[in-house]
A and B are shown apart, each in its own frame.
Chain A
Amino acid sequence: MTDLQRMLAAHPFAASLTDDDVARLAELACVETFVPNQVIYREDEPAREFLLLQSGRVAVEMHAPPGVVLLESLDAGATVGWSTFFPPYTWGCDIRAIEATEALAIDGVRLRPLLEQAPDFGLRVMRALLATVHQRLERSRLHRMDLYQR
């Protein structure tokens, strides 16, 4: 196993992936680092990759003049950048590094056709993606309850 494969396999996104899947994804992966405050993805720009956070913290933000709304913070273990998988393949909000952050960036442009070409692999990747989307949607519903309001 290469270092990249090891890092990938250790990420929750890969929990239900096979070793072969991990090797395939590792081919499309590279390590990226972000400095605090760096805007990683900006709304409406092309979504070409997604991130498996290794360390640090990022913010999911929406620019809403006069200000910016922090929607959610995501830590190591999170999967960031679903827009890579769906048309129009542009970011729906801003992603900004809150702290120094390290992530595996996986090339979505090259991954998309592979998902079609190898349906088994595609299904497992989509399941992994759906698991994170499902988890975040549930969290989001709870969040929306505004539980501590008086």
Chain B
Amino acid sequence: MSAETASKGRAGGRELLDALVTTLIAKGYRVMGPRREGAALQLEPIDDVDQLPWAVVDAQGPGRYRLEQYEQPVAFAHGPLAFSMRRLVSPPEERLVTLRRKGAELAVEPAAVHARPTAVIGAKGCDLRALRAQDAVFRDGAHPDPRYVARREALFTVAVACHRPADTCFCVSRGGDVRPDPDDADLLLTELVSASPRYLLEASSDRGREVLEAMPGDAIGEDDRVRASGQDHAAREAMVRALPREAAQAALLAAEETEDFEAVAERCLACQSCTAVCPTCFCLTVEEEPSYDGQASTRVRRRDSCFSPDFSYMHGGAVRGSRAGRYRHWMRHKLATWSGQWGLDGCVGCGRCTTWCPAGIDFVAEATRHIQRQEET
């Protein structure tokens, strides 16, 4: 770390978080952070740090999610939230354009692009890496999507280092880390866990530095860094799950036949929960909303899922008519074919697909079965 960046850091107690929220709101951002909503932690608007999930943690497992009391009064001890930041940049539904009949011709009325400046506090490394995946699809290709680009630019991220990964987490094996890559965020927050937690805040972008400069706080000390790095190390050690990238890719590339997926398809409900919570999933459809008189129609882009039989429909039927075919597509896309399409990985190791699967299908265990079979042959 450069001396200059270090000088931009701030350290302090809970009041540092207070100052962060106040500063971001003053700069015009809608601030969002983890917040208890019913039985789960969700990414929700906040205007007060009291709304953060203090001393609340999640217990995650295949098809299982519970909130529990935590022994330390900290706000970021939880694992991945039910939904990632994906919906902030790629909403489940949005209008694209309206076509209207004007005599014999059709007039084109593009929908306005809305992008509300939003700051997310507590963005995890996995979700930030997933944004890179979304960027590759909607921003960095030959046809950038202006709606996405506007929302992405309006998104300010305060990353947080994970000190207590969920049991379903496996980001390290996917090339990620409990400590997010500073380049993926504007600010990087470290929560040093104790009865009176201490917070470290560092800037990694120009707008991050602007926010930091407007905030009070101590300088980050050497002992802070030692504690942070010890905490990182312990968190990495605690993450026992792994799905190695190369091995998974090779095994899934080899698993070409639907027969290889018939067993898991017996359990899969094709309910689309996994694709709904996956932070890298990007698939969309465009649907019509015609006016009552048939003189106009609005084209609405909606999130779509490869688990829907209609997804692969072409004249004559669905290409992936069986659930085994659809499960194969999903798993091979995430682990094997994505990198060839977009130059990065399709699975960041957040484990949401496993937690939120109502049938309790364990994505890592299923993929590992393919790796083992590949090793046997």
Min distance, Cβ A39 to any Cβ of chain B, angstroms: 8
- Is the contact region of chain B dominated by helix, strand, or loop, or is it mixed? mixed
A66 and B259 form a contact (CB under 8 A):
no
Contact B259 A67 (CB under 8 A): no
B313 nearest in chain A by CB position? A66
CB neighbours of B257 from chain A (8 A): 39
Please state if B259 and A65 are interface contacts (CB–CB under 8 Å).
no
Which residues of A sit under 8 angstroms from B321, Cβ to Cβ? 66-67
Q: Separation in Å of the A91 CB from the closest CB of chain B?
A: 16
CB contacts under 8 Å to B, within A58-96, are 65-67
A66 cross-chain contacts in B, Cβ below 8 A = 312-314, 316-319, 321
Residue of B nearest to A64 (CB): B316
- A97 to B321: give the CA distance in the assembly, Å: 20
B4 vs chain A, min Cβ distance (A): 58
Chain A interface size, under 10 / 10 to 19 / 20 to 34 / 35 or more: under 10
In the complex, chain A residues whose CB is within 8 Å of the CB of B319: 65-66
A37 within 8 A of B: yes
Which residues, 280 to 312 on B, are CB-close (under 8 Å) to A? 312
The digit string for B250-267, where 1 denotes a CB below 8 A from any CB of A, is 000000010100000000
Residues in chain A near residue B312, CB distance under 8 A: 66
- The reply to whether A37 and B259 contact each other, CB–CB distance below 8 Å, is yes
Of chain A, the residue at the smallest CB distance from B318 is A66
Compute how far the CA of A3 lies from the CA of B349 in the bound complex, rounded to whole angstroms. Answer: 57
| Those of B312-351 within 8 Å (CB) of chain A | 312-314, 316-319, 321
A37 contact set on B, CB distance < 8 A: 259
Tell me how far the C-beta of A103 lies from the nearest C-beta in chain B, rounded to whole angstroms.
20
Chain B residues lying within 8 Å of A67, measured Cβ to Cβ, are 316-317, 321
Residues in B with CB closer than 8 Å to A39 are 257, 259
- Chain B residue with Cβ nearest A37: B259
Q: Which residue of A lies closest to B257 (CB)?
A: A39
Closest residue of A by beta carbon distance from B259: A37
Q: Considering the chains assembled together, what is the distance between the CA atoms of A41 and B209 in angstroms? A: 64
State the CA gap A37–B321 with chains docked (Å). 16
- Residue ID in chain B nearest A68 by CB atoms: B321
B257 to chain A, nearest CB (A): 8
Q: How far is the CB of B247 from chain A (nearest CB, A)?
A: 26
Considering the complex, which residues of chain A in the window 16-44 have a beta carbon less than 8 Å from any beta carbon of chain B?
37, 39
Chain A: CB-nearest residue to B312: A66
**In the bound complex, CA of A65 to CA of B314 (Å):** 9
How far, in angstroms, from A35 to B133 measured CA to CA in the complex?
A: 42
> Please, which residues of chain B bring their CB within 8 A of the CB of A65?
314, 319
**Docked complex Cα distance between A67 and B259 (Å):** 16
Query: Which of A37, A65, A66 has the most chain B CB atoms closer than 10 A to its own CB?
Result: A66
Closest CB of chain B to A59's CB: distance in Å?
Answer: 15
New A-B pairs, 14, CB < 8 Å, besides A65-B319, A67-B317: A37-B259, A39-B257, A39-B259, A65-B314, A66-B312, A66-B313, A66-B314, A66-B316, A66-B317, A66-B318, A66-B319, A66-B321, A67-B316, A67-B321
The 4 closest A-B pairs by CB, nearest first: A66-B317, A66-B319, A65-B319, A66-B316
Q: Which B positions have Cβ atoms within 8 angstroms of A?
A: 257, 259, 312-314, 316-319, 321
Q: List 16 A-B contacts (CB under 8 A).
A: A37-B259, A39-B257, A39-B259, A65-B314, A65-B319, A66-B312, A66-B313, A66-B314, A66-B316, A66-B317, A66-B318, A66-B319, A66-B321, A67-B316, A67-B317, A67-B321
